[in-house]
Structure 1
């Protein structure tokens, strides 16, 4: 079950980063701000995935 969740999490992170890149291009976010945007979104998605895993694990 852990391996399935890890594969799912990697897929989610990849897809979210792809959408974040599209957002940066569409909104014309400057190059110097893009790493901060990516870092913030990746941290928030990682927290969401960890909390989902803990909820599934103890439910």
Structure 2
């Protein structure tokens, strides 16, 4: 549940970034994809680290 909240919040921040920096519509997909994949990797690696240390 917390991961979904984090992804939602990061996507809202990314949307604000795209609006403030006036990133063209064509590039916004790439920006969202890059940020979402990066956050997903961080969440999975944190989950694995916590799982193996406990």
Pairwise CA distance, 1:27: 0.1
The TM-score normalised by the length of structure 2 is 0.97
Query: What is residue 23 of structure 1 aligned with on the other side?
Result: 17
Unpaired stretches in structure 2, ≥5 consecutive residues: none
Q: What RMSD, in angstroms, separates the aligned Cα atoms of the two structures? A: 0.3
Which structure is higher in RCO with an 8 Å CA cutoff and minimum separation 6?
1
Structure 1 stretches of 4+ with a deviation exceeding 4 A read none
Aligned residues: 53
Unpaired stretches in structure 1, ≥5 consecutive residues: 1-6
The TM-score normalised by the length of structure 1 is 0.89
In the alignment, the residues of structure 1 paired with residue 35 and residue 13 of structure 2 have an alpha-carbon distance, to the nearest angstrom, of: 11
